[in-house]
Amino acid sequence: MTAAAYNWLARREKRAFLALADGTVIRGWSCGAPMDRLGEVVFNTGMTGYEEILTDPSYAGQIVTLTMPEIGNTGFNGEDYESRAIHAAGLLIREMNPPSNWRAEDTLADALARWGVPALAGLDTRALTLKLREGGTQKAFLCATGSVSPEAAVEKARAWEGLDGQDYATKVSTADAYDWPANVPAQAPLVAVLDYGIKFNTLRLLSREGFRVRVLPARSTAVDVLKLKPAGVLLSNGPADPAALHYAIATVQGLLGKVPIMGICLGHQLLGIALGGKTRRLKFGHHGCNHPVLDLRAKTVEITSQNHNYMVDADSLDPAAAEITHLSLNDRTIEGLEAKKYPAFSLQYHPEAAPGPHDALAAFARFRALM
């Protein structure tokens, strides 16, 4: 690694910084795109998988703090993308390392620069994580250019609208419907996927389960979906506030009872609202690949991958409309639902998680059985 690539001067001077809405300013050095960005700071407790995290559309609008201190060792590899781009608003890490992996096609720093995503290294990410855990998620301004004063950056963070009440699904969804290529027979059952921020591995696993897959834009209506005569409908994961997606809620309500439904993450929240429930914000969200979830029926525990700042409020659900099937063992929030009157179920976590864990993969077989 050359001295220029190691960037000793930037490391020493730490001109780049993160300004939080509460007035805190944390200095580091720029290791991504040389640009500034507003976002909501969250922490992710995964020990691996930064490629999948950054390319997960659910992280749109979020500046991700990784609690694992050494990042970049595996480089960046196109085969590991969960979408066609990096969607996270920014990245905060302790140490940026050069790749040391035979699969690496690029460095993490170069990938961030190519996609126009700023990042800071040299931060005390453990201290920042504790701050977020104790005080909650915060709006922030990531300054990588040094062209904004810390005082002005704090004001920009405070003035930003944040993610509450915002529709980010249409920002990350496909503009046009498409078929996911797979070697499945033409007569195989069709699954219509409503793309609120779909991940490639979800599509891979649906294909592996033997389905033909048609991916539809987020604003597709129930009429659009039913025209395809699908065997089932999958409501995908996605970013930001589910309560802001009035069009999606109407679509789900129009599909209930007419076709089997499976929801993942944001799709889970949309199903909960469609069944009469409400959603609310968590203090600091669930972000990581080590969250224990209790299956209330099987009395088993799954270790799961999660990324969400909102949850279905258990007190808002009518027991006659929905059964709670899964609970978080960390905070007892709802992790799974099943409709009482319709063939529909949902999971708050990501059963398709890549690189893992894979405890929840049986959910796709359950979807097939529901059909």
Give the C-alpha separation, 37 to 140, whole Å: 8
Q: How confident is the model at residue 258 (pLDDT cuts 50, 70, 90)?
A: very high
211 domain residue, yes or no: yes
Identify which of 108, 121, 110, 138 has the alpha carbon closest to the alpha carbon of residue 42.
Answer: 138
User: Mean pLDDT across the stretch 198-211?
Assistant: 94
132, 280: one domain: no
Give the C-alpha separation, 305 to 294, whole Å: 14
Share of the chain above pLDDT 90, in %: 89
164 domain residue, yes or no: no
Give the mean pLDDT of the chain. 94
Give yes or no for a contact between 236 and 196, defined as CB atoms under 8 angstroms apart: yes
Compute the radius of gyration of the chain from its Cα atoms. Answer: 21
132 domain residue, yes or no: yes
pTM of the model as a whole:
0.95
pLDDT at 357: 86
109 domain residue, yes or no: yes
96, 186: one domain: no
255, 322: one domain: yes
37, 60: one domain: yes
What secondary structure does DSSP assign to 252-314, as a single string? HHHHTTTS-EEEETHHHHHHHHHTT--EEEEEEEEEEEEEEEEETTTTEEEEEEEEEEEEE-G
151, 205: one domain: no
245, 331: one domain: yes
121 domain residue, yes or no: yes
263, 311: one domain: yes
Domain limits for position 203: 169-370
Angle CA(167)–CA(173)–CA(177) in degrees, nearest 5? 140
pLDDT tens-place string over residues 21-75: 999 999 999 999 999 999 999 999 998 899 999 999 999 999 999 999 999 999 9
**CB-count burial class (<10 Å; 0-12, 13-18, 19+) for 111:** buried
In 3-state terms, what secondary structure has residue 134?
helix
183, 115: one domain: no
pLDDT tens-place string over residues 266-309: 999 999 999 999 999 999 999 999 999 999 999 999 999 999 99
pLDDT at 354: 84
Q: b/e per residue, 318-334, with b = 16+ CB within 10 A?
A: eeebbebbbbbeeeebb
Predicted confidence (pLDDT) at residue 108 exceeds the cutoff of 90: yes
User: Mean pLDDT across the stretch 214-220?
Assistant: 98
The CATH code of the domain that includes 139 is 3.50.30.20
Q: How confident is the model at residue 2 (pLDDT cuts 50, 70, 90)?
A: very low
The CATH code of the domain that includes 284 is 3.40.50.880
User: Mean pLDDT across the stretch 5-27?
Assistant: 85
183 domain residue, yes or no: yes
218, 337: one domain: yes
pLDDT at 5: 53
> Which of 137, 159, 181 represents a domain boundary (last residue)?
159
Angle CA(69)–CA(27)–CA(128) in degrees, nearest 5? 50
155 domain residue, yes or no: yes
244 domain residue, yes or no: yes
> Which of 134, 159, 184 represents a domain boundary (last residue)?
159
Predicted confidence (pLDDT) at residue 4 exceeds the cutoff of 70: no
**Who has greater pLDDT, 252 or 184?**
252
User: Mean pLDDT across the stretch 164-168?
Assistant: 97
Give yes or no for a contact between 58 and 197, defined as CB atoms under 8 angstroms apart: yes
Give yes or no for a contact between 194 and 236, defined as CB atoms under 8 angstroms apart: yes
- The residues annotated as belonging to the active site are 265, 350, 352
pLDDT at 356: 81
pLDDT at 6: 61
User: Mean pLDDT across the stretch 147-167?
Assistant: 97
218, 189: one domain: yes
pLDDT at 184: 85
pLDDT tens-place string over residues 311-324: 999 999 999 999 99
How many domains are there within the chain? 2
135, 222: one domain: no
pLDDT at 8: 72
Q: b/e per residue, 79-91, with b = 16+ CB within 10 A?
A: ebbbbeebbbbbb
φ, ψ at 98 (rounded to 5°): -70, 155
175, 134: one domain: no
> Which of 139, 159, 179 represents a domain boundary (last residue)?
159
Question: Structure tokens of 55?
Answer: 């390319």
Give the C-alpha separation, 366 to 15, whole Å: 52
